[in-house]
Structure 1
Amino acid sequence: MAPLSSSETWEFIDSVQLLKSVLEKLHGLLSNPPSLFVDLEGINLSRSGSISLFSLHVAPVSKTYLIDVFGLGHKAFTTEDATGTSLKSILETEDITKVFFDIRNDADALFSLQGIRVRGITDLQVMEFATRDSQPSRFVSGLAKCIKDDCPMPQYEKQKWLRTKDRVGALFSPERGGSYQVFNERPLQKIIAEYSAEDAALLPRLWKAYSAMLTSNTAFWQMMIRKETLKRIEQSQSQKLYCTYQVHGIWALGQARGTEGYEVLGQRSTLGLSLSTE
């Protein structure tokens, strides 16, 4: 098969040389508003699974870099540019804001598989929960629901995204006869690349939408979101964590208990988030 060709909006990064060129473009970016938005794809994405793709969307240039973790291995995170900057150093610094949607499984996988302790993280799933009315649901929302309900985009664009999501779902969902191994196939199927790039590229729109909803008492909500995100990261890196992971970051433990907040070894969440998505 022919190598995967990139597009104007995304680029597949499968060599150390290409990765260095990406790292060189990340200097001097703003953190307020955030410039870097991240989404990971993998097989059983957690400490017991593997990372296939690291999708890095750079908002100021509207471009997503699909970094081939499956092919590059540890070099995906340890490769440095001329200034000593690496993905690992970017992920571990407080000085650069990185936006994820549901950091839990990503933080677990990055820490357990790559030795990376993420810092400077904003979790969009926590932001969405904070925007709800005074009597919110116990459950957090998944990315697909947030995009469908909250992402400001033309209807035709949303329909295109839904069609792509459905087609890719048939490729990777075991329930539909697919396999998550499609993320490790090389050359990567173009539709998989487009799906991964689009998910990351939509995160800035969600960030803007939720930020606009939290303009009242902004400092308070920033503190609460930061505190909840830190707790998620700490719990995901705990050696005693006993939650059962699923590919899309759903921590199922606690759903049957009917708890109003998720609980890991007796620790309750600040915002009362449930382990499960709705």
Structure 2
Amino acid sequence: MYIDLEGVNLCREGSISILTLLVDTPIHDRRVCLVDVHTLGAQAFNTAGVLAGTLKDILQDETIPKGFFDVRNDSDALFAHFGVALQGVEDIQLMESATRKTTASRKFLNSLTKCIENNLLTSLGGKGLASWKLAKKKGERLFKAEHGGSYDVFNQRPIPEDISSYCIGDVQYLPELRDRFCTQRAYGWRDLVGEESKKRVAMSQRSDYQPHGPDRAIAPWSKEQNTLLDQWECVPPPCDDFDESDDDWYDDSPTSCRDIISSWD
């Protein structure tokens, strides 16, 4: 499953308005649900379903993978307001960063828009990408101050259509991004990204967590982690076993048709 949250100043100091949940399993067709946290409050997380499990149980189940794009403030808000301690998180923003070829190229994190532009343009096509970006832009106009909007629009009920489309857009292509980044990756690579995702969740639950600031755009990789990522991304040049400049190579076999025929006489 893939999750994104929206709210008014989304963090421990603000509130959660909408939880967007994309369910993508081999058994069921892909579907997206918008959970009205603003209206339901704690009931959104504590109400048991037909199998007696709650949304909180699912979010805290380490065996159920959950894809987020930058989990930090989502985790902060869930933990502070509803006591939800996320488990099983796969941070797709970190995955994208870890696929880059060099330490220098990993210095800064990319936005969701940049990740989709850089990695899904071929599969989406120009029209598909433009349609997705338009839906995002329409939503942003309703809540960004520079467009005369307000984040209070996330608490408006019924949820405006452009806000619904905006929320869906935040999770719509996370499965494709995850598949692209994880394909043919070593277990060590996955473990490294998984551990760093756990660190993000743990950091967001600390009392000194800062939900805003320019340093949030800097990738978290240590020198040792970057060295490992460089090694995993390095593809050695093909070895030319027949390089005639190699003085150690010597061929004493026949070199012409006449030689080959003669060798069988």
TM-score range for the pair, normalised by the shorter chain length? 0.7 to 0.9
Residue range with higher mean Cα deviation, 149-158 or 57-66: 149-158
2:208 is equivalent to residue 252 of structure 1: no
> Equivalents in 2 of 1:261, 1:98: separation in Å?
21
Q: 2:18, 2:124 → 1: CA distance?
A: 25
Residues 71-116 of structure 1 deviation map (CA, whole Å, 9 limit, x = unaligned):
1111111110132211100000111111111010011000001101
Structure 2 CA distance for partners of 1:59 and 1:270, relative to 1, 3 Å? farther
Q: Does 1:93 align with 2:61?
A: yes
Q: Which runs of 5+ in 1 are unaligned?
A: 1-35, 246-250, 273-278
Query: What's 2:113 paired with?
Result: 144
What secondary structure sits across from 1:80 in the alignment?
A: coil
The equivalences for 1:79-228 within 5 A come to 79-135=47-103, 136-151=105-120, 152-212=123-183, 215-216=184-185, 218-228=186-196
TM-score normalised according to structure 2 size: 0.78
Distance 1:92 1:107 in 2: 11
TM-superposed CA distance for 1:270, in Å, is 7.5
Partners of 2:223 and 2:82 lie apart in 1 by 26
User: Shift of the alpha carbon at 1:252?
Assistant: 2.4
Identity of matched residues, %: 35
Q: Which residue of 2 aligns with 1:45?
A: 10
Q: Map of 1:20-99 to 2, 5 A cutoff?
A: 36-60=1-25, 61-99=29-67
State which structure, 1 or 2, has the greater radius of gyration over its C-alpha atoms. 2
Quote the offset at 1:219 in angstroms: 0.4
* Structure 2 residue runs without a partner (length 5+): 227-265
Q: Distance in 2 between matches of 1:252 and 1:74?
A: 32
Are residues 85 and 168 of structure 1, via their aligned partners in 2, closer, same or farther at CA, if it must alter by over 3 Å?
A: same
- Rounded to whole Å, the distance in 2 between the matches of 1:96 and 1:104 is 19
Aligned residue in 1 for 2:204: 236
Q: TM-score normalised to the size of structure 1?
A: 0.74
Query: Pairwise mapping of residues 3-14 of structure 1 onto structure 2 (< 5 A)?
Result: none
Secondary structure of 1:163's counterpart equals helix
Greater helix percent: which structure? Answer: 2
Select between 126-135 and 149-158 the one with higher mean Cα deviation. 149-158
Q: In the TM superposition, what whole-angstrom CA distance separates every residue of 1:128-182 from its partner, at most 9, and x where no partner exists?
A: 0110012323111111111222123132111111111112111111122111111
**CA–CA distance in structure 1, aligned partners of residues 68 and 85 of structure 2:** 14
What letter corresponds to residue 125 of structure 1 in structure 2? Answer: Q
1:176 alignment partner AA: H
Equivalent residue letter for 1:146: C
- Secondary structure in 1 aligned to 2:44? helix
Greater fraction of residues in strand:
1
Q: How big is the shift at 1:271?
A: 4.8
Tell me, yes or no, if the aligned pair for 1:244 and 1:252 is still in contact at 8 Å: no
User: In the aligned structure 2, how far is the partner of 1:70 from the partner of 1:270?
Assistant: 43
Over 3 Å counting, the alpha-carbon distance change for 1:196 and 1:271 in structure 2 is farther
CA distance in 1 between partners of 2:223 and 2:216 (Å): 12
The 4+ residue runs of structure 1 with deviation greater than 3 A are 260-263, 268-272
Whole-Å Cα distance in 1 between the matches of residues 130 and 48 of structure 2? 39
Relative distance call for 1:104 and 1:244 in structure 2 (3 A) is closer
- Cα distance in 1 for partners of 2:92, 2:81 equals 23
